[in-house]
Structure 1
């Protein structure tokens, strides 16, 4: 079955944000409930550790509450919040001087054919299950080799399904920077996989590509 990303519905956060900025703690708690799962998922993909992701998420919401007066009305609250989340993840990685142990469950895209993700197919034989596990572990290891800025873009684009302009707003960078980081990240993953293409689904082995 081909994995596809889900669209991100537009939510009007303005009433809750305005109330929270006026000191309504219940309104802010509603915003937390609305975005807690998303914030944690992004943090987990960057950090790769459940406890570290939970800590980063909590720190991000605390920081967001303290910085509510800096939020600019009319802009995306979700993007503003996710920028705080990613920054907290970067801070944690720098503070602990460690590399994350994230797993790449989403499908890797070919930078030359971005509309062709790898497909995850239910194994029919035990040896296929072993090969899929080996591929999963390989993708985990390769993800660790990416710099944090490229990893964040890859997570937001290929796992969370955000568009270029959304990622640019979340990370506070130019769309061109998003594209270049994503291209480099995908190319690094793809080049590394050339040495292990026997683990790839047959349709995505490099010698079979037109």
Structure 2
């Protein structure tokens, strides 16, 4: 069944069709949520929230964009709302997962020395801290561009922004991230 057929079936109330759409897109949605929040638990919660919002709003999906683009937007919005709520509370759930070493220990990669692994971990943590220091809007566009590989046009469509705004935000985000890493000697 094509994606369009699955969407139409899901819009008619077919839960199995929607389940297939979820399965096809859940890794992408989770990865985006994880990169925006830095927390696997928050990402899992936000993934569920994004798909719940998709189910509730499926009747409004008109097909002007790809289904995945629409999901990007729903996920991004859920993440930004979450980050704003966390900021108002005074704490931000943006911790770098300390489980990286555990995963490496479970699946050892003998090609890397312990020193190299430590350097890579420190670099990942530095970049995550730099991303955490960005505003949610800047973090969002940078992640969509650099990690998810979306074009400026796709990001603009996904976030309902002008393409020039997307380019400007990405440029500012890159500059801020670079300055953060330089300032912290990374």
**Is it true that 1:161 corresponds to 2:146 in the alignment?**
no
Return the TM-score normalized by structure 2.
0.81
Indicate conservation of the 8 Å contact 1:20/1:27, yes or no.
Answer: yes
Matching residue of 2:73: 83
Matching residue of 2:94: 101
- Stretches of structure 1 that go unaligned for 5 or more consecutive residues are 1-11, 104-121, 200-210
Matching residue of 1:139: 127
Structure 2 CA distance for aligned equivalents of residues 191 and 96 of structure 1: 25
**Aligned in 2, Cα 1:34/1:93: closer, same or farther, shift over 3 Å?**
same
Matching residue of 1:149: 137
Give how far 1:82 is off.
Answer: 1.2
Give how far 1:192 is off.
Answer: 2.7
- Stretches of structure 2 that go unaligned for 5 or more consecutive residues are 97-110
Structure 2 CA distance for aligned equivalents of residues 69 and 129 of structure 1: 48
Give how far 1:100 is off.
Answer: 4.3
* Post-superposition CA distance 1:174-193 (Å, at most 9, x none): 11111001000101111233
Give how far 1:128 is off.
Answer: 4.7
Matching residue of 1:113: none
Alignment RMSD (CA, Å): 2.3
Give how far 1:75 is off.
Answer: 2.3
Indicate conservation of the 8 Å contact 2:86/2:93, yes or no.
Answer: no
Structure 1 CA distance for aligned equivalents of residues 119 and 45 of structure 2: 34
Give how far 1:135 is off.
Answer: 2.6
* Post-superposition CA distance 1:53-112 (Å, at most 9, x none): 111110111111111111113421111111111111112222232434266xxxxxxxxx
Matches within 5 A, 1:1-210: 13-97=3-87, 98-101=91-94, 127-195=115-183, 199=186
**Aligned in 2, Cα 1:129/1:29: closer, same or farther, shift over 3 Å?**
closer
Structure 2 CA distance for aligned equivalents of residues 37 and 127 of structure 1: 31
* Post-superposition CA distance 1:11-36 (Å, at most 9, x none): x5211111111111111111001101
Structure 2 CA distance for aligned equivalents of residues 23 and 165 of structure 1: 32
Return the TM-score normalized by structure 1.
0.73
Indicate conservation of the 8 Å contact 2:156/2:162, yes or no.
Answer: yes
Which structure is higher in helix share?
A: 2
